[in-house]
C-alpha cells in the first residue's frame, strides 16, 4: 500500500483520542489484545493481508489491528513484514501497540527493533506478563504457572519453541537492542538510561496486575515509548489511551444454530479442556491421526474418513481435534495440519447452509487457517468470554471464539460453548 494513501486516515471529530493501531504476530494474539480497545465509541477490526495492513479510508474511531503472521518466519523475514507495516504509520498522529506472545514465542527482538525503526522511535517497553493466565515476569525472567517458561509446554512447542526464559536473552537472540531492566516503579530512572543506550528496550518486573497498571501509567506519560506486550498490558493501557472504560456490546449475542470446536494447538492444556467438554456430554469428538496426515496417501484417507463422520453428525456441538503428536512429513518438514483442520471446518459449514454457526478455535495458526478456508477477510472483536478468550463477529453467518492453546482453566471450552449457545453471560 503506497504511503500516501495513509494521508486519508484522519481522526474523526468525535474521537476521544488519537487513532490506535495494533501490530500482532499471530491471530489469536491479535484478537485477545484487540478486544480491550473496543468501546462505545470505538470499533475494532483485525486484518491479516500483508499487502494491506491498514485500511486507509476508515475513520479514526476504528481501532485497526494487523496480524503480520510473522511468528514462524525467520528473524529477517519477520522484521521486513513488521517494519513495512510500521513505516506506513511513521510520523502520523497515532498510538501504536506491539503485541507479542505472553510466552515470548517468535521473533520478539527482531520485531521490536523493526517496529522502533519503522516508526522512528528509540525506546520500547516490553511487558509480556498476563497474570490472569499465569504469566509473570519476576527478576527478569518469564514464569508460567510458577515455572520458567522454558520448562513448560511453550518450551516444547513443536513449531515455535521458547529457548530462553530471561527476557534480555529473548530480545538479544534476534536483535542488537540494548536491554535495561527495572522494577515496576523505577521506570522513570530507567528511561534515562535507555535513552542514553538507544535503541533500547525497557524490561520492568511485572509480577502482578498492579505492576502492569504502573507500566501502563508510565506509557501514558511517555507516548514516545513503544508499548510491547501481551493482552495483559493492553488491558490497563487501553482505558488510558481511550480516556473511557471499555464497553460491552450494545446488544447481546444471538445464539448460534450449530457449533464446531477446533483444537489445533499442541499445548496439553487445550486437549485437557476438550476432554472436560466431552466428558460433560457437551460435544461429540473426532480426533485426527496426525501421523496419517503427514503422509500423502494417509492424508487423503484420513480426511475422507473425517468428512464422512462430519456429514453424518446431527449434534448441535461437534469437535475436531488434531492429535498432539506432530510428526514431520516427507523431507523432514512439518506439515500444515491446521490447514487440513480448517478444510474440514469449511466442509462442516457447507452442510448447514443458511444457518448461524459458531466456531471455537485454539491456536493462532488454526484460527488463521480457519479464516482463510471460510474466506473471512477480517474479524470484528466484540468482547471477552474469559480473559484471553475473545469473541468476534466474522460476518452475518459466523461467530468466532479464539484462544491461545495454553490459556484458560479446564472449563474454558465449556464456557465457550455455553456462551455461543447463549446459556451463559459474557464474563
The pLDDT assigned to 203 comes to 97
20-29, 65-74, 247-256: the lowest-pLDDT one: 247-256
pLDDT digits (tens, 9 = 90+) for 125-160: 999 999 999 999 999 999 999 999 999 988 887 777
Q: For the chain, how big is the Rg over CA atoms in Å?
A: 21
pLDDT above 70: percentage of residues in the chain = 90
Pairing of strands 178-182, 147-148: unpaired
pLDDT digits (tens, 9 = 90+) for 78-92: 999 999 999 999 988
C-beta separation of 207 from 224 below 8 A:
no
The pLDDT assigned to 246 comes to 52
The pLDDT assigned to 254 comes to 85
**Mean per-residue pLDDT for 386-394?**
90
**Mean per-residue pLDDT for 95-124?**
96
**Mean per-residue pLDDT for 20-46?**
90
Tell me: pLDDT of 6 over 50. no
CA distance 219 to 112: 16
**Mean per-residue pLDDT for 275-302?**
92
| Residue 340 binned pLDDT confidence (cut-offs 50, 70, 90) | very high
Average pLDDT, whole number, for the chain? 88
- Residue with the larger pLDDT of the pair 9 and 48: 48
Q: What is the pTM of this model?
A: 0.85
Pairing of strands 258-263, 357-362: parallel
Amino acid at each position: 500500500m503506497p504511503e500516501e494513501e495513509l494521508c486519508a486516515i484522519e481522526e474523526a471529530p468525535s474521537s476521544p483520542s488519537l487513532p490506535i493501531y495494533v501490530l500482532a504476530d499471530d491471530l489469536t494474539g491479535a484478537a485477545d489484545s484487540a478486544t480491550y480497545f473496543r468501546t462505545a465509541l470505538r470499533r475494532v477490526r483485525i486484518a491479516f493481508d500483508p499487502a494491506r495492513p491498514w485500511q486507509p479510508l476508515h475513520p479514526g474511531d476504528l481501532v485497526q489491528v494487523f496480524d503480520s503472521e510473522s511468528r514462524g518466519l525467520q528473524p529477517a523475514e519477520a522484521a521486513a513484514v513488521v517494519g513495512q507495516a510500521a513505516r506506513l504509520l511513521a510520523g502520523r498522529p497515532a498510538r501504536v501497540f506491539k503485541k507479542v506472545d505472553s510466552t515470548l514465542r517468535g521473533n520478539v527482538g527482531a520485531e521490536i527493533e523493526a517496529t522502533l525503526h519503522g516508526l522512528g522511535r528509540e525506546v520500547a517497553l516490553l511487558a509480556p506478563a498476563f497474570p490472569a493466565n499465569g504469566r509473570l515476569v519476576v527478576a527478569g525472567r518469564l514464569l508460567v504457572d510458577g515455572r520458567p517458561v522454558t520448562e513448560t509446554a511453550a518450551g516444547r512447542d513443536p513449531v515455535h519453541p521458547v529457548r530462553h526464559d530471561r527476557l534480555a536473552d529473548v530480545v538479544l537472540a534476534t536483535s542488537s537492542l540494548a536491554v535495561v531492566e527495572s522494577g515496576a516503579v523505577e521506570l522513570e530512572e530507567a528511561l534515562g538510561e535507555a535513552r542514553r543506550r538507544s535503541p533500547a528496550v525497557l524490561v520492568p518486573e511485572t509480577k502482578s496486575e498492579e505492576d502492569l497498571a504502573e507500566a501502563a501509567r508510565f506509557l501514558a506519560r511517555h507516548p514516545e515509548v513503544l508499548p510491547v506486550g501481551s493482552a495483559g498490558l493492553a488491558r490497563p493501557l487501553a482505558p488510558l489511551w481511550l480516556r473511557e472504560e471499555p464497553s460491552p456490546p450494545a446488544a447481546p449475542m444471538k445464539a448460534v444454530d450449530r457449533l464446531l470446536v477446533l483444537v489445533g494447538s499442541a499445548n496439553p492444556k487445550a486437549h485437557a479442556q476438550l476432554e472436560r467438554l466431552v466428558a460433560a456430554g457437551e460435544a461429540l469428538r473426532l480426533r485426527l491421526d496426525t501421523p496419517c496426515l503427514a503422509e500423502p496417501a494417509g492424508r487423503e484417507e484420513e480426511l475422507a474418513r473425517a468428512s464422512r463422520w462430519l456429514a453424518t453428525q446431527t449434534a448441535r456441538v461437534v469437535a475436531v481435534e488434531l492429535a498432539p503428536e506432530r510428526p514431520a512429513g516427507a523431507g523432514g518438514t512439518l506439515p500444515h495440519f491446521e490447514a487440513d483442520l480448517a478444510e474440514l471446518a469449511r466442509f462442516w459449514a457447507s452442510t448447514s447452509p443458511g444457518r448461524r454457526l459458531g466456531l471455537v478455535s485454539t491456536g493462532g495458526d488454526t484460527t488463521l487457517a480457519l479464516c482463510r478456508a471460510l474466506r473471512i477477510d477480517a474479524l470484528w472483536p466484540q468482547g471477552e468470554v474469559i480473559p484471553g478468550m475473545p469473541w468476534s463477529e466474522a460476518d452475518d453467518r459466523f461467530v468466532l471464539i479464539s484462544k491461545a492453546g495454553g490459556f484458560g482453566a479446564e472449563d474454558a471450552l465449556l464456557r465457550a460453548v455455553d456462551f455461543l449457545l447463549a446459556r451463559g453471560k459474557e464474563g
